[in-house]
């Protein structure tokens, strides 16, 4: 049989067990994988190029489409990177709201990952349990942001709006259901012989390899490295919260499953603490109050210094020859970089004008020139945004560091030498999100 050639198999781009469009090229010797390669880019939507041509706030809706299972974390990551560059810090209540939003998203991300990979191994019931409670969480996201998936919750300088009435109570009710579903799934999977046989000692990656490939998130933690951006470089208010960073030991699929299951509980704990601690007050920076120039001038004549100090002059922007860019409303250094709340926008002419000014092409927020990198803990690991501003009203460059690119790059190393059937659980535990991977 020496003339027998290895078989070349294309798995994907369209395959029921591929979470999104990705193509795996496999060279097979029987059922064994001799060599493999992953090919990505089928969902490339030019996020980075498009961002260079949108004003700062208008990039937020594009970030929804990165990791579409946990869009809120992308919103927060992008806005925090911009705020870091502009030197803005948002009010405490806004930080708590962002934390709550992030953690809800992390739970939905993990629920989807576990549910989908369990379904691919035949545990359809678990999929239904988890996706059902995910839907309840999406309803809460809907109440908070106004959309299930395309949330666009954050703004540069704040969030879209405060929690609706009874949000905390409703959230606690949903958490009961989430916990029930997690316990049920735990009973169905964790000690299940079939599940463990498929997951244990499959898709092993060593600690050294994981670090060399720059892998972060649950994938790295399953190898025993407790690296979590929330703990290592705390942002928002994570240093005030009590939570654990679950780790595995072997770095196989089963460990990744356990880490994700534990993280769901930790995220729920974080949200409960946030709901207890959240202070009253403003959730976003205020749009600074502006008076017309003639009012300001009159006040000056009258000697009303209190008003002079309190307000900024607003100059009619239709004036010829006036340098419009000097208008204070477009400056990021003060608090006026923020979009007015939607109630204002639709409820008053001043709010509408203010919104329009900030949204209009070339009139928007101006972020000081410079460059920065900011990372948050996404559902799959370190989600970084590298932002370059040239001082204009739109980014000069936006780079997203997609956390699932690293395990995808390491995938062929993990699956080489294994069985074809093992690709399914391994690929499931990578939790590849094509929107984020291909951008």
Partner 1 sequence: MSEIKEIRVLAAEAFETLKKLKNEGFNMLVDFTAVDYSAYSASGDKTDSWKRAHPLQQKIIPRPIAAAEGEEYGTPHLPSTDSLDDARPAPPVQERFDVVYRLMKLDPKTGDDLGRVYVHCGVPENPPVLRSVVSLWPIADWLEREVWDMFGIQFTDRPNIKRLLMYEEFKGHPLRKDYPITKRQPLIGPPSGDRENSPSFNIIRPTVKYD
Report in angstroms the alpha-carbon separations of 437 from 39, 335, 405: 11, 35, 6
Count of residues in contact with partner 1, rule CB under 8 A: 66
Burial of 252 (0-12, 13-18, 19+ CB in 10 A): buried
Q: Which of 142, 342, 413, 421 binds partner 1 (CB under 8 A)?
A: 413
Residues in the chain: 439
Residue with smaller CB distance to partner 1, 49 or 172:
49
Query: Nearer to partner 1 by C-beta: 127 or 374?
Result: 374
Q: Which is nearer to partner 1, 62 or 227 (CB)?
A: 227
Task: Kindly tell me which residue out of 30, 41, 122, 300 binds partner 1, with binding defined by CB under 8 A.
Answer: 41
Q: Measured from the CB of residue 156, what is the shortest distance to partner 1 in angstroms?
A: 18
Q: Minimal distance in Å, beta carbon 396 to partner 1?
A: 6
- Nearer Cβ to partner 1, position 261 or 411? 411
Site string for partner 1, 355-394 (x = CB under 8 A): ------xxx--x--x-x-x-x------x-x-x-x-xxxx-
Instruction: Tell me the closest approach of the beta carbon of residue 336 to partner 1, in angstroms.
Output: 16
Q: Could you tell me which residues are beta bridge partners of residue 8?
A: 27
DSSP characters over 227-296 = --HHHHS--TTGGGS-------SS-SHHHHHHHHHHHHHHHHHHHHHHHHHPPSS-SSPPPPPEEEHHHH
Closer to partner 1 by Cβ: residue 295 or 388: 388
Q: How far is the CB of 237 from partner 1 (least distance, A)?
A: 14
User: Burial, 378: exposed, middle or buried (Cβ in 10 Å; 0-12, 13-18, 19+)?
Assistant: buried
- CA nearest 82: which of 351, 397, 435, 377? 397
Residue number, 68 or 396, with CB nearest to partner 1: 396
Residue 161 in the binding site for partner 1 (CB under 8 A)? no
**Does 27 contact partner 1 by CB under 8 A?**
yes
The nearer residue to partner 1, 25 or 149, going by C-beta atoms, is: 25
| Phi, psi (deg, nearest 5) at residue 317 | -80, -5
Give the C-alpha separation, 271 to 124, whole Å: 29
Question: What is the spatial distance between Cα 365 and Cα 392, in angstroms, rounded to a whole number?
Answer: 8
Q: Which stretch in 85-93, 134-142, 168-176, 227-235 sits in contact with partner 1 by CB under 8 A?
A: 227-235
Residues 180-199, interacting with partner 1 (CB under 8 A): none
Burial of 56: CB neighbours in 10 Å, binned 0-12, 13-18, 19+: buried
**Token duo for residue 144:** 């908070």
Helices (H), 303-347: 305-310, 342-347
d(CA 277, CA 240): 10
Contact between 126 and 276 under an 8 Å Cβ cutoff? The reply is: no
Nearer Cβ to partner 1, position 47 or 96?
47
Cα 439 to Cα 38: distance, rounded to the nearest angstrom: 16
User: Contacts with partner 1 in 130-159 (CB under 8 A)?
Assistant: none
Which parts of 285-324 interact with partner 1 (CB under 8 A)? 323-324
Q: By C-beta, is 120 or 438 nearer to partner 1?
A: 438
Considering Cα of 343, then 346, then 351, then 355, what sign does the dihedral take? positive
58 contributes a contact to partner 1 by CB under 8 A: no
Q: How do strand 290-292 and strand 312-314 relate by DSSP bridges? A: parallel
Span from 78-86, 337-345, 348-356, 397-405 in contact with partner 1 (CB under 8 A): 397-405
Taking the least distance from each CB to partner 1, the nearer of 10 and 150 is 10
Which residue among 11, 18, 22, 40 contacts partner 1 (CB under 8 A)? 40
Q: Please give the torsion angle defined by the CA atoms of residues 165, 171, 172 and 177, in that order, rounded to the nearest 10 degrees.
A: 140
Report residue 435: phi and psi, to 5°: -60, -35
d(CA 308, CA 316): 18
* 436 forms part of the interface with partner 1 (CB under 8 A): no
Tell me which stretch binds partner 1 (CB under 8 A): 78-86, 87-95, 96-104, 223-231: 223-231
Closer CB to partner 1, 131 or 211, in the complex:
211
Which residues contact partner 1 (rule: CB under 8 A)? 8, 10, 25, 27, 35-37, 40-41, 44, 46, 48-50, 52-53, 207, 211-214, 221, 224-228, 231-234, 245, 247, 323-325, 361-363, 366, 369, 371, 373, 375, 382, 384, 386, 388, 390-393, 396-397, 399, 401, 405-406, 408-410, 412-413, 416, 438-439
């Amino acid at each position: 049989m020496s003339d027998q050639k290895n078989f070349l198999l294309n798995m994907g781009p369209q395959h029921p067990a591929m979470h999104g469009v990705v193509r795996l090229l496999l060279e097979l010797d029987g059922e064994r994988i001799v060599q493999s390669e992953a090919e990505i880019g089928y969902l490339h939507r030019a996020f980075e190029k498009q961002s260079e041509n949108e004003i700062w706030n208008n990039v937020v809706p594009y970030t929804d489409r990165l990791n579409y299972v946990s869009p809120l974390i992308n919103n927060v990551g992008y806005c925090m990177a911009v705020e870091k560059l502009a030197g803005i810090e948002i009010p405490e209540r806004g930080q708590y709201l962002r934390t709550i939003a992030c953690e809800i998203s992390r739970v939905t991300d993990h629920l989807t990952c576990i549910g989908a990979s369990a379904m691919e191994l035949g545990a359809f019931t678990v999929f239904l349990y988890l996706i059902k409670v995910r839907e309840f969480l999406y309803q809460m996201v809907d109440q908070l942001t106004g959309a299930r998936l395309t949330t666009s919750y954050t703004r540069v300088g704040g969030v879209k709006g405060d929690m609706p009435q009874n949000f905390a109570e409703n959230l606690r009710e949903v958490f009961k259901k989430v916990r029930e579903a997690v316990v049920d799934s735990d009973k169905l999977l964790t000690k299940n012989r079939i599940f463990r046989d498929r997951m244990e000692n499959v898709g092993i990656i060593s600690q050294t390899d994981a670090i060399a490939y720059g892998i972060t998130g649950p994938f790295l933690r399953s190898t025993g490295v407790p690296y979590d951006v929330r703990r290592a470089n705390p942002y928002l208010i994570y240093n005030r919260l009590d939570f654990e960073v679950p780790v595995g030991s072997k770095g196989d699929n089963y460990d990744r499953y356990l880490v994700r299951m534990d993280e769901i509980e930790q995220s729920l704990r974080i949200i409960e603490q946030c709901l207890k601690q959240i202070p009253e007050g403003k959730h976003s920076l205020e749009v600074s109050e502006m008076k017309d120039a003639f009012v300001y001038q009159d006040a000056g004549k009258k000697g009303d210094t209190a008003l002079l100090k309190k307000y900024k002059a607003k100059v009619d922007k239709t004036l010829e020859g006036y340098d419009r860019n000097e208008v204070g409303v477009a400056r990021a250094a003060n608090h006026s970089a923020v979009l007015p709340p939607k109630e204002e926008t639709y409820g008053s002419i001043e709010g509408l004008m203010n919104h329009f000014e900030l949204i209009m092409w070339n009139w928007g927020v101006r972020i000081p020139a410079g460059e920065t990198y900011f990372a948050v803990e996404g559902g799959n690991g370190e989600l970084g945004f590298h932002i370059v501003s040239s001082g204009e009203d739109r980014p000069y460059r936006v780079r997203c560091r997609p956390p699932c690119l690293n395990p995808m790059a390491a995938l062929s190393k993990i699956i080489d030498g294994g069985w074809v059937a093992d690709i399914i659980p391994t690929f499931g535990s990578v939790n590849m999100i094509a929107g984020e991977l291909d951008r």
